[in-house]
C-alpha cells in the first residue's frame, strides 16, 4: 500500500467529479458544521472541511499511538492527584500568566476545602506528528495532550465512510480496507455514562457547558445522542446560565435551572476570553466546589498545561509517577519531543540562547488551548529578545519543531477553490477514564482523529479554520 497515486491526484476530470460526490457524501454522513454567518442557527449548515483523500500513516506508528493512550490517561490522572507537583511545576508560570494563575487559585481553594467528590472523569486527546529522522525513517512525537474540551470525537466517528465511498468511486477498492472503523463519540459517551452511573441519581443530568457561538454543535451532538440512547439526560448550558440560575444545596449538590447536575462536561472554559466577566469565574469556582463530577476537574485542567508537559520530560520525573513500571515509562518517553524550560536561571538562559541561535528548529508555546497560539521562526526571536531578561519568559516553554514529511492532497472547504496542496497531518488519540476513590474503574483508548492542513500554515486547528478533517490510510 502506498500514498494516493500521482496520476489520480492529477486527473482533473476525476477530481472534479469526486469533489461534488465527496461533499454530498459528507452531508449524507452528517459531517456538518453551522455556517460562520449563522453560527447558532440549525436552519443553514454546511459540510465540515475535510480532505478529498485519506492520508497515509505508517501502521506501526498508528498502533504505537493507540497503545500508549491508556498510560497517558493514568499519567494525567496521577499528576492531577499530586498537588505538590502541580504547585512546584506551575510556581514560575502563575507569576506571569494571569489565566493560569486564576485557574490555580481555584485549584488551591478547592484543595483547601478538601473537595469530597470521589469520582473523576477524564476525556483526553493526545496529539502527535510524525517526525522525519536523520536516517530517513519516521517516529511518533507528541505535540500536546488536551485535557479539556478535546474536540472532533463526534465528527471523526462519521468520516471513515466518507473516505471509503470516495475511494470506491475512484476505483481504489484495495485502499478502502485500510481505513479503520472509528467511533470516538461512543467511547467518550461510555466514559460519561460510567461517571453518571456512579454519581447515582437517575434524575440528575449531564450538563455540557458550551460557548455562546456554537458552530461545532454537531460534533457535540453525536456524543449527546449516544447518552440519550442510554436514557441519560443531557442539557446544554452556558456560563451565563450557570451564573444566573446555578446554586449549591447543603450537600454541595449543583443545581442549574432547577436541575441537579451529575456531570459538568466542559466544552468551554479553556481560553481567557471564555470568561467574559467576574461572574464567569465565580461560576467556575461554584462548579468546582460542587459534588458534580467535573470533566475535567480543575487539577486535571492544570495537568494539561504546557509547563506540566515540559516538566514531565525531565529525566527521572515519569519514574515518580510510575515507580515500578519501567516499560510504561519507556513507552511514554518514546513519544516525547525535546522540551525545554524558560524559567529564570542557567537552564532557562541556555534555552533562550539555543532558540535565538536557531529559531526555525523550535516552537515557542504559551499555556493555551484552542489552536493558533504557538510562535514560530523570527517571531520567537522577537518574543525572547523582549522577555529574556524578565520573568515574563516563564509564561512559555520551548519545544523542538517536528518535521513531518509533506503529502499531496486536496482540502475541501465551503466557498474555497479546489487545488492540490502540500499538506501536513496531526494524529489525535482519544482516551477516556473514570476513577472512583483509588480505583480506576474505566480506562480506554476510544478512537482517533486525523487533521490535515496546508504546509504553508504553521499553526491552527479545524475550529480555527486552518486544518480539515481526515482519515489515516494505514500503510
Whether 419 is catalytic: no
Backbone angles phi, psi at 69, to 5 degrees: -65, -40
Q: How many degrees, rounded to 5, is the angle at CA 427 between CA 371 and CA 424?
A: 75
428 in catalytic set:
no
Q: Find the catalytic residue in 194, 435, 451, 453.
A: 451
Catalytic residue among 23, 46, 74, 144: 144
User: Which residue in the list 267, 369, 374, 393 is annotated as catalytic?
Assistant: 369
Q: How many helices (H) and strands (E) does the chain have?
A: 20, 21
Find the catalytic residue in 46, 146, 182, 183: 146
Catalytic: which of 306, 368, 393, 435? 306
- From 126, 151, 425, 471, the catalytic residue: 151
Q: Contact, 409 vs 4, CB < 8 A? A: yes
Residue 223 CA to residue 236 CA, distance in Å, equals 12
Is-catalytic flag, 365?
Answer: yes
| Annotation marks residue 451 as catalytic | yes
DSSP 3-state assignment of 366? strand
Rounded Cα distance, 397 and 385, in Å: 15
Instruction: Please tell me whether residue 470 adopts helix, strand or coil conformation.
Output: strand
* Residue 253: partners with Cβ closer than 8 Å, 6 or more residues away: 260, 261, 290, 291, 292
Of residues 74, 125, 194, 284, which has the active-site annotation? 125
Note if 307 is an active site residue. Answer: no
**Grid coordinates belonging to 402:** 517536528
**Residue 151 appears among annotated catalytic residues:** yes
- Residue 235 vs residues 30, 82, 154, 257, 269: alpha-carbon distances, Å: 21, 32, 17, 10, 17
Q: Across the strands, what pairs with 50?
A: 412, 469
267: Cβ contacts below 8 Å, ≥ 6 apart: 149, 151, 208, 209, 210, 211, 220
194 is catalytic: no
The string of DSSP codes covering 414-428 is: TT----EEEEEEEEE
- Please work out, in degrees rounded to the nearest 5, the angle formed at the alpha carbon of residue 374 by the alpha carbons of 335 and 334: 5
Residues with a catalytic annotation lie at 125, 144, 146, 151, 306, 365, 369-370, 451
Amino acid at each position: 500500500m502506498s500514498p494516493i497515486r500521482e496520476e489520480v491526484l492529477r486527473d482533473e476530470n476525476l477530481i472534479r467529479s469526486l469533489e461534488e460526490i465527496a461533499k454530498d457524501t459528507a452531508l449524507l454522513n452528517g459531517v456538518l458544521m453551522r455556517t460562520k454567518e449563522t453560527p447558532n442557527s440549525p436552519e443553514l449548515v454546511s459540510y465540515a472541511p475535510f480532505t478529498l483523500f485519506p492520508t497515509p500513516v505508517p501502521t506501526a506508528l498508528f498502533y504505537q499511538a493507540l497503545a500508549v493512550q491508556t498510560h497517558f490517561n493514568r499519567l494525567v490522572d496521577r499528576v492531577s492527584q499530586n498537588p505538590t507537583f502541580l504547585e512546584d511545576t506551575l510556581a514560575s508560570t502563575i507569576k506571569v500568566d494571569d489565566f493560569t494563575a486564576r485557574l490555580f487559585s481555584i485549584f488551591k481553594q478547592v484543595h483547601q476545602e478538601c473537595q469530597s467528590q470521589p469520582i473523576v472523569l477524564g476525556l483526553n486527546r493526545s496529539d502527535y506528528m510524525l517526525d522525519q529522522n536523520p536516517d530517513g525513517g519516521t517516529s511518533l512525537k507528541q505535540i500536546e495532550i488536551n485535557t479539556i474540551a478535546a474536540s472532533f470525537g463526534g465528527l471523526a466517528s462519521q468520516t471513515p465512510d466518507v473516505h471509503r465511498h470516495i475511494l470506491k468511486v475512484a476505483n481504489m477498492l484495495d485502499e478502502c480496507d485500510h481505513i479503520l472503523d472509528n467511533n470516538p463519540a461512543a467511547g467518550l459517551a461510555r466514559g460519561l455514562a460510567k461517571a453518571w452511573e456512579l454519581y447515582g441519581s437517575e434524575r440528575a443530568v449531564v450538563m455540557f457547558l458550551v460557548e455562546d457561538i456554537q458552530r461545532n454543535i454537531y460534533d457535540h451532538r453525536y456524543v449527546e445522542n449516544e447518552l440519550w440512547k442510554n436514557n441519560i439526560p443531557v442539557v446544554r448550558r452556558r456560563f451565563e446560565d450557570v451564573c444566573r440560575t446555578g446554586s449549591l444545596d447543603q450537600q454541595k449538590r449543583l443545581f442549574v435551572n432547577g436541575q441537579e447536575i451529575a456531570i459538568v462536561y466542559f466544552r468551554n472554559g479553556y481560553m481567557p476570553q471564555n470568561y467574559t466577566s467576574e461572574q464567569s469565574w465565580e461560576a467556575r469556582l461554584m462548579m468546582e466546589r460542587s459534588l458534580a463530577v467535573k470533566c475535567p476537574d480543575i487539577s486535571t485542567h492544570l495537568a494539561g498545561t504546557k509547563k506540566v508537559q515540559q516538566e514531565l520530560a525531565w529525566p527521572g520525573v515519569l519514574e515518580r509517577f510510575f515507580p515500578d513500571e519501567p516499560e510504561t515509562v519507556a513507552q511514554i518517553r518514546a513519544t516525547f519531543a525535546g522540551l525545554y524550560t524558560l524559567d529564570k536561571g542557567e537552564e532557562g538562559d541556555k534555552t533562550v540562547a539555543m532558540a535565538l541561535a536557531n529559531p526555525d528548529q523550535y516552537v515557542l508555546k504559551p499555556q493555551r488551548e484552542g489552536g493558533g497560539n504557538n510562535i514560530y521562526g523570527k517571531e520567537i526571536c522577537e518574543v525572547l529578545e523582549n522577555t529574556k531578561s524578565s520573568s515574563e519568559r516563564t509564561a512559555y516553554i520551548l519545544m523542538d519543531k517536528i518535521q513531518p514529511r509533506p503529502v499531496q492532497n486536496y482540502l475541501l472547504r465551503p466557498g474555497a477553490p479546489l487545488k492540490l496542496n502540500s499538506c501536513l497531518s496531526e494524529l489525535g488519540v482519544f482516551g477516556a477514564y473514570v476513577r472512583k476513590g483509588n480505583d480506576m474503574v474505566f480506562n480506554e483508548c476510544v478512537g482517533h482523529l486525523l487533521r490535515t492542513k496546508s504546509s504553508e500554515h504553521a499553526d491552527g486547528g479545524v475550529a480555527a479554520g486552518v486544518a480539515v478533517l481526515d482519515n489515516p490510510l494505514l500503510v
